[in-house]
């Protein structure tokens, strides 16, 4: 995807790292000392040494038709969801993130699979080529809160790479950033292609070509493996790497395998979503102030994810959160089957509503709303702190065409 490369080469690694102190016109900023537990109080956002108040800004929320619970005497219940942006005890971010400025939109990222370009090799196999650039980019992770990210192709998470089992993969990696970087793939490959020192870790201005076979099938990831690893991960250098199973290699589960192959008739029956759980330490004290799925706090509260209740849902979920040992996913009003790492065609867990993942753990969730009434169904981390600091959203479940 086209990216703004005007910030290439910018060094964002000075001893004191700060985000830009500007904000949208309707926002007012002032320096404060804030911990993550004090980030959201009464409609305020305070992160990375900035508190963002919006006396004239309105919460970018979609009205909840199930909201508005009155208490005896006509009082309003402070714990009811008066609209989809004010759930979880009215703890919310005020305003909206400029997705156009960021160069990526969390809603589009749900279904934006990067499939590269293909050609046929002399042996008849498919060669699939991806091009990835490391770029320093400042991004907005919550209304008025900016973060100096290191990115793959100008976005966090990086592009969701997708291939098919057995294909030959070629990834052309260019380092246009200000620090040494690499791409380390969770999969099967030779030591020469591991993305560590001497095997694909390159300096600014250099290029490296990774080449290996797409195996095993499943929901995987890639990330920078430069040291210090926690810094390169936290700054945004990670992304999904999905390998679809080849049905011909799994005749006993051919129908299930076919349903996972992007572009197949069986796959078209599914609503597939790419979700990467992440967090951001905006004042660089080793604790995250903002949590999210696909980077922008409360993105899917402000713009609930439309779900056609007649079609099943499949989520490719990965945890890239630094500084916290565990992240989680909880679905309201429903249960799902879970395929840990996605390397099996039968579920690891059946009929669960919470799944925990450590960093780099990933899996596939499958569920259906076919028997549900229409409405907004919440999903979020089941660490309340993460939820109130941005990691929550809604599925807007409706009949097709409604």
Question: Was 232 annotated as part of a binding site?
Answer: yes
237 is an annotated ligand-binding site residue: yes
**Which residue, 285, 366, 382, is CA-closest to 327?**
382
Nearest CA-CA partner of 129 in 236, 240, 214: 214
Calculate the alpha carbon distances from 195 to 25, 50, 222, 295 in Å.
43, 36, 10, 24
How far is it, in rounded angstroms, from Cα 219 to Cα 240? 7
Please report, for residues 71, 100, 160, 163, 218, the alpha-carbon distance to residue 169 in angstroms, rounded to integers and kept in the order given.
60, 31, 14, 8, 15
Minimal CA–CA distance to 94: which of 85, 81, 82?
85
DSSP string, 200-222: B-B-TT-EEEEEEE--S-EEEEE
Long-range contacts of 178-182 (CB under 8 A, 24+ apart): 178/9, 178/10, 178/11, 178/12, 178/13, 178/136, 178/204, 179/13, 179/150, 179/204, 179/226, 179/232, 180/204, 180/226, 181/134, 181/150, 181/224, 181/226, 181/232, 181/237, 182/208, 182/224, 182/225, 182/226
223 is in an annotated binding site: yes
| Nearest by Cα to 104 from 1, 235, 22, 12 | 1
Of 96, 346, 359, nearest to 221 (Cα)?
359
CA distances (Å), origin 306, targets 111, 240, 368, 372: 12, 22, 13, 14
Task: Please calculate the CA angle 322-156-118 and round it to the nearest 5 degrees.
Answer: 120
CA–CA distance, 329 with 301 (Å, rounded to integer): 15
Q: How many CA atoms lie within 13 A of 353 on its CB side?
A: 10
Q: Do residues 80 and 47 make contact, with C-beta atoms less than 8 angstroms apart?
A: no
Residues in the annotated binding site for Cu cation:
181, 186, 223-224, 232, 237, 382
Residues in the annotated binding site:
181, 186, 223-224, 232, 237, 382
């Amino acid at each position: 995807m086209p990216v703004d490369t005007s910030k290439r080469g910018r060094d964002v690694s000075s001893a004191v790292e700060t985000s830009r102190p500007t904000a949208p016109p309707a926002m007012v900023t002032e320096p404060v000392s804030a911990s993550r537990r004090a980030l959201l109080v009464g409609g305020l956002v305070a992160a990375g040494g900035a508190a963002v108040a919006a006396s004239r800004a309105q919460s970018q929320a979609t009205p909840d038709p199930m909201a508005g619970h009155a208490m005896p005497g006509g009082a309003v219940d402070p714990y009811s969801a008066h609209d989809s942006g004010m759930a979880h005890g009215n703890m919310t971010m005020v305003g909206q993130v400029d997705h156009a400025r960021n160069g990526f939109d969390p809603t589009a990222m749900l279904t934006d699979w990067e499939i590269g370009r293909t050609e046929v090799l002399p042996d008849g196999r498919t060669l699939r080529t991806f091009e990835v650039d490391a770029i320093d980019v400042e991004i907005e992770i919550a209304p008025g809160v900016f973060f100096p990210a290191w990115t793959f192709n100008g976005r966090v998470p990086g592009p969701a790479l997708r291939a098919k089992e057995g294909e030959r993969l070629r990834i052309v990696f260019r380092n246009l950033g200000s620090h040494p970087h690499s791409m380390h793939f969770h999969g099967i490959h030779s030591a020469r292609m591991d993305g560590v020192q001497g095997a694909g870790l390159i300096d600014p201005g250099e290029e490296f070509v990774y080449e290996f076979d797409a195996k095993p099938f499943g929901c995987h990831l890639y990330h920078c493996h430069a040291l210090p690893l926690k810094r390169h991960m936290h700054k945004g250098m990670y992304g999904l790497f999905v390998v679809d199973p080849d049905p011909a290699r799994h005749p006993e589960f051919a129908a299930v395998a076919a349903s996972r192959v992007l572009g197949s008739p069986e796959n078209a029956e599914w609503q597939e979503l790419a979700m990467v759980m992440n967090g951001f330490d905006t004042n660089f004290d080793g604790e995250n102030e903002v949590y999210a799925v696909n980077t922008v706090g409360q993105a899917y509260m402000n713009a609930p994810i439309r779900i056609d209740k007649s079609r099943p849902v499949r989520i490719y979920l990965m945890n890239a959160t630094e500084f916290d040992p565990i992240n989680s996913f909880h679905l309201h009003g429903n249960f799902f089957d879970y395929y840990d790492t996605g390397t099996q065609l039968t579920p690891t867990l059946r009929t669960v509503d919470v799944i925990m993942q450590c960093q780099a753990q990933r899996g596939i969730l499958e569920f259906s709303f076919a028997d549900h009434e229409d409405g907004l169904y919440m999903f979020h981390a089941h660490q309340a702190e993460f939820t109130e600091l941005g990691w929550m959203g809604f599925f807007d479940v409706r009949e097709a065409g409604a």
